[in-house]
Amino acid sequence: MRDVEIAVIGAGIAGIATAYYLAVRHRRVRLLIVDMGPPMTLTSAQSGENYRNWWPHPVMTAFTDHSTGLMEDIARRTGNRINMTRRGYVLATREARPEALLRQLHAGYGAAANASIRVHDSTSSTTYRPPDSADWETAPGGVDVLLDRALIRQHYPAFDPEVATLLHIRRAGDISGQQLGQYMLEEIRAAGGRFLRGRVTAIGTHDRFTVETEADGVRETVRADLVVNAAGPFAAHVAALHGEDLPIVNVLQQKIAFPDKQAAISRRMPFAIDLDGQSIDWTADERDALAADPGVDWLLQPMPGGMHCRPDGGERGQWIKLGWAYNSKASEPTREPELDPNFPDVVLRGASRLLPALRAYIGRLPRERVHYGGYYPMTAENWPLVGRTRTPGMFVVGALSGYGTMSACAAGDLCARAVVGEAIPAFAQSLSLARYQDQQLMAELRSAKSRGVL
């Protein structure tokens, strides 16, 4: 039997980050991370490895700003071991004056909106500067709004010429999630924290916690004073072991990556997102074939916005990543989710609307392509769950949806503070289960036009 102060269930990036702040910042070193697989091998291994502070609500903007600041601190202290870059996010729409989108933008930045948002159109005197460098330390903050087609064509000639508005979120870019997780694990082990491989089969709550685990037929009991549920897509399953329900569902989302042998996109292009919905431009024969198959005929229906694309591997790299979180059906999680074989073709065709040069790959994707996917564990409002649960001594850090890598540092820091009883920032008060008692906030979130899902 192992005896520890804190057991962290889950060795994805959120669990590792929580353990990191507990062990390194708060010196809680009688700590054990438990997971059925090796660290960073489930959902965290499928990350798009992007980060942003663009959200339609100031609480989530503050949350990801906090996380970005913590990542910057790690990048600074490690000589940028986590490969942090900052070219921003560009959000494209064909609406000339997307008033609802602009209202969301101002709402997301809250009191800082007027100072953070710079508008560029045919009448403005402001100068837009594209991201000539990926250096996160010298990149500007705030957001640039381009409302002039000629200006957009000048700086982004590869985009669909119908794009009429661009939002360039500047505090955004990409990192190596695996390097972030590996660095934290090294620091946890150096401080005295340990890892146990095993599937959690039962949790007892009498007096202290007893966490029963099993691996390769070998059973082991862990006794702990406190437990953190960081089980990612299995967080609700873990909660059920001690008699709690968590308002989390899992939605499988997919991505592809392939070498851009045709040099279809610029290596300096920011992470690009097409906000507009679309109907896939199938040929007549393809439409007939799809219509005849009830398993895939849904591909003829209008698709939501949110297709995203970015160069991968830096300026000297060659690969492209494409993603599109169009699936909205919840499913039970498995360690090896079944991927949709149609996804690579669908996302490529969707991306070709924003970046027409990608049409060169339709029907001719390189053999070296990678098709992968992971679950978005999410609440209905797409906010995380970080902090105490209803069971005394039990905490949760989860429901990080498609923003796990970018928010893990903040989620881990805030959960660690809750575990040790340290004060948390004001914005974080609404990130725990306690928010469901705030009827005004929940009504606001239920009526929101956007949940920030990408």
254 shares its domain with 319: yes
Q: Is 454 contained in some domain?
A: no
On whether the CB atoms of residues 431 and 35 are closer than 8 A, the answer is no
Residue written as token pair 């000339």: 96
Whole-number pLDDT of residue 68 = 98
149 shares its domain with 259: yes
255 shares its domain with 312: yes
Give one DSSP letter per residue of 354-396, joined into a string. Answer: HSGGGGGGTT---TT-EEEEEEEEE-TT---EEEE-SSTTEEE
> Rounded to an integer, what distance in angstroms lies between the CA atom of residue 207 and that of residue 335?
33
330 shares its domain with 291: yes
133 shares its domain with 267: yes
> Rounded to an integer, what distance in angstroms lies between the CA atom of residue 234 and that of residue 236?
6
Q: Is 72 contained in some domain?
A: no
257 shares its domain with 278: yes
Which pair of tokens denotes residue 282?
């199938």
Which value, to the nearest 10 degrees, does the dihedral of the CA atoms of residues 262, 266, 270, 274 take? -50
Q: How far apart are the first and last CA of the chain?
A: 43
Of 378, 406, 425, the last residue of a domain is 378
SS3 162: coil
Which pair of tokens denotes residue 364?
């001719």
Q: Is 118 contained in some domain?
A: yes
Task: Kindly state the helix (H) or strand (E) to which residue 179 belongs, with its residue range.
Answer: helix 177-191
The type of residue at 181 is: G
Of 332, 357, 378, the last residue of a domain is 378
> Rounded to an integer, what distance in angstroms lies between the CA atom of residue 341 and that of residue 363?
13
Domain of residue 230 covers 2-49+177-247+380-446
Task: Calculate helix-pair angle for 404-420, 13-20, nearest 10 degrees.
Answer: 40
The count of structural domains within the chain is 2
Of 378, 404, 432, the last residue of a domain is 378
Whole-number pLDDT of residue 330 = 96
What is the domain-level CATH number for residue 439? 3.50.50.60
On whether the CB atoms of residues 173 and 211 are closer than 8 A, the answer is no
Residue written as token pair 């007027």: 114
Residue among 211, 248, 237, 202 nearest 33 (CA): 211
> Rounded to an integer, what distance in angstroms lies between the CA atom of residue 20 and that of residue 14?
10
267 shares its domain with 321: yes
Cα-based angle 328, 330, 331 (whole degrees, multiple of 5): 135
233 shares its domain with 269: no
**How many other β-carbons are positioned within 10 Å of the β-carbon of residue 123?**
8
Q: Is 67 contained in some domain?
A: no
283 shares its domain with 431: no
Q: Is 58 contained in some domain?
A: no
pLDDT in tens, the chain (454 residues): 899 999 999 999 999 999 999 999 999 999 999 999 999 998 888 888 999 999 999 999 999 999 999 999 999 999 999 999 999 999 999 999 899 999 999 999 999 999 999 999 988 878 899 998 999 999 999 999 999 999 999 999 999 999 999 999 999 999 999 999 999 999 999 999 999 999 999 999 988 999 999 999 999 999 999 999 999 999 999 999 999 999 999 999 999 999 999 999 999 999 999 999 999 999 999 999 999 999 999 999 999 999 999 999 888 899 999 999 999 999 999 999 999 999 999 999 999 999 999 999 999 999 999 999 999 999 999 999 999 999 999 999 999 999 999 999 999 999 999 999 999 999 999 999 999 999 999 999 999 988 988 8
Which pair of tokens denotes residue 294?
């009830």
SS3 content of the chain, % helix, strand, coil (to 5): 35, 25, 40
Give one DSSP letter per residue of 240-296, joined into a string. Answer: HHTT-----EEEEEEEEEEE-TT--S-TTPPEEEE-S-B-----HHHHHHHHT-TTT
Radius of gyration in angstroms for the set of CA atoms belonging to the chain, rounded to a whole number: 22
Q: Is 108 contained in some domain?
A: yes
277 shares its domain with 329: yes
SS3 232: helix
| CA distances (Å), origin 397, targets 11, 345, 404, 436 | 12, 35, 10, 16
277 shares its domain with 359: yes
Q: Is 79 contained in some domain?
A: no
Name residues whose C-beta falls within 8 Å of residue 68's C-beta, 6 or more positions apart in sequence: 51, 53, 171, 406
Q: Is 82 contained in some domain?
A: no
> Rounded to an integer, what distance in angstroms lies between the CA atom of residue 31 and that of residue 7?
6
What is the domain-level CATH number for residue 154? 3.30.9.10
357 shares its domain with 395: no
